[in-house]
Amino acid sequence: MKQGIYTLGNDVVLNQIIALLNSIEVNGNNLPVCIIPYDDRCDRLSQEIAQRGNPKVTIFSNQAVMDQWDQFSRSAWDAHPQTRPGQYHRFGTHQLGSENVAGGICRAFLATGFK
């Protein structure tokens, strides 16, 4: 996906994701939406996306890429002197000016050729 809306989501914030998608639909925005799972709690979110039947709304599912970035963030946080080893915070990344554009992605990914 070269242009579109990337957002984090899981079942905990399902109502906010629904509100976002409803707003996008009502305002006639035809941009694709990619939801990056914040964690594994996405059963209800997946059901909601399937019920909508909108092929422009997807859940990012490349687990290998998410695992790679989770490992990177673990190593970055473990090296920080004020964190406790083994505990890390997911953080956002931005990659602008390339074919892929994403921002505010906590479970950081990109440079993967995701289309």
- pLDDT tens per residue, range 8-33: 899 999 999 999 999 998 987 788 99
Q: What domain count does the chain have?
A: 1
Within-domain flag for 110 = no
Instruction: Tell me what pLDDT residue 75 has.
Output: 78
Within-domain flag for 113 = no
How sure is the predictor about 83, in pLDDT bands with cuts at 50, 70 and 90?
Answer: low
Within-domain flag for 27 = yes
Instruction: Tell me what pLDDT residue 71 has.
Output: 81
Contact 92, 105 (CB under 8 A): yes
Question: For a pLDDT cut of 70, what percent of the chain falls above it?
Answer: 69
Q: Kindly state the tokens that stand for 1.
A: 């996906």
Within-domain flag for 18 = yes
**Rounded CA gap, 74 and 84, in Å?**
11
Token pair 């964690």 is found at 39
Residue-averaged pLDDT of the chain: 74
pLDDT single digits (tens) 46-74: 999 999 989 999 999 888 888 887 787 77
Instruction: Tell me what pLDDT residue 101 has.
Output: 32
Within-domain flag for 115 = no
Within-domain flag for 114 = no
Within-domain flag for 15 = yes
- DSSP letter assigned to residue 95: E
C-alpha closest to that of 102 among 17, 24, 2: 2
**Rounded CA gap, 43 and 115, in Å?**
23
| Residue numbers of the domain that contains 44 | 5-103
